[in-house]
Amino acid sequence: MVTNKNKYMIYLLPIRCVIFAFIFVIGATIVNQKLDDICNWWSIIASAVNVFIICILLLFTKKNKSSYRELINYRKGETKAKSIIGISLLIFVIGMAGMYVAGYICYGVIPYAAPMMIAPIPVWVAAINVVVLPVTTALAEDGLYLGCGVNQINNKFLAITVPAFFFALQHSFIPTLFDVKYIIYRFISFLPLTLILCWYYYKKRNPLPIMVGHALIDVITAMQILATSAIPGLYEMMCRM
């Protein structure tokens, strides 16, 4: 079932689901607020978790006498610009389509986007996170689900579906709300995209187009948060749209 010296890293696939749920629950308890009240901090928590996951990946690969590059099968100079552009567009289109279809299935609304995902935070924090969130997310998520998932499983069906499942499921806890409809909405939103990305990676074994496209879509999200944080009334206006 598994293929190389990093084989035990496959068991890390559920780790982000657990960490996010833990942080949000403990965080809400510490500040004595409801989970709904701290949802706007999801992007900052995500960046922090990303850094933690990257450190874990580096630690495990070093212990196994490997490297992060080897884990994700990165080979310098093998990626063409058209691949990056094509996959970036695919991520944007499938990502948006998945979100809207899931919104219709769960809430009967098109277009639908969870409003807390662009809720304002302190402007200076949002500005820093425009860079930090996209970079760390691409390194952490793609390193985990492609490197520790797809690359470690021999069976084609399982190599695509198992990492894709956890890749999508983690989003159900970013932010964490114990609402079944919301959890299903977030999972369905991302599952088509994660299946396609894991399939593409299984076929090409080239992480760079996926990582660049992944980072770009997170730049858009981070820029929206910066805009709602910097412009009074924008968040309320966007929620009414």
pLDDT digits (tens, 9 = 90+) for 55-111: 999 999 998 888 999 999 998 888 889 999 999 999 999 999 999 999 999 998 887
Of 104, 88, 110, 67, which is closest to residue 197 (Cα–Cα)? Answer: 88
Span 161-190, mean pLDDT? 96
pLDDT tens digits for range 195-222: 999 999 999 999 999 999 999 999 999 9
Rounded to 5°, the CA angle 23-214-1 comes to 80
Answer yes or no: are the C-beta atoms of 214 and 140 closer than 8 Å.
Answer: no
Of 139, 140, 127, 88, which is closest to residue 230 (Cα–Cα)? Answer: 127
In the predicted structure, residue 156 carries a pLDDT above the cut 80: yes
Question: pTM for the full model?
Answer: 0.93
- Alpha helix ranges (H) inside the chain: 15-30, 42-63, 68-72, 81-107, 123-142, 156-169, 180-204, 208-230, 234-240
Span 105-133, mean pLDDT? 91
CA distance 39 to 174: 8
Per-domain boundaries in the chain:
7-240
CB atoms within 10 A of CB 98: 19
pLDDT tens digits for range 6-20: 667 889 999 999 999
Counting residues of the chain whose pLDDT is more than 70, the rounded percentage is 97
Counting residues of the chain whose pLDDT is more than 90, the rounded percentage is 83
Residue 235 confidence class, pLDDT cut points 50, 70, 90: confident
**How high is the pLDDT of residue 6?**
63
Residue 114 confidence class, pLDDT cut points 50, 70, 90: confident
The residue behind tokens 């063409």 is 80
Instruction: Output the average pLDDT for the chain.
Output: 92
Span 145-153, mean pLDDT? 94
**How high is the pLDDT of residue 133?**
97
If DSSP codes are grouped into helix, strand and coil, which group holds residue 176?
strand
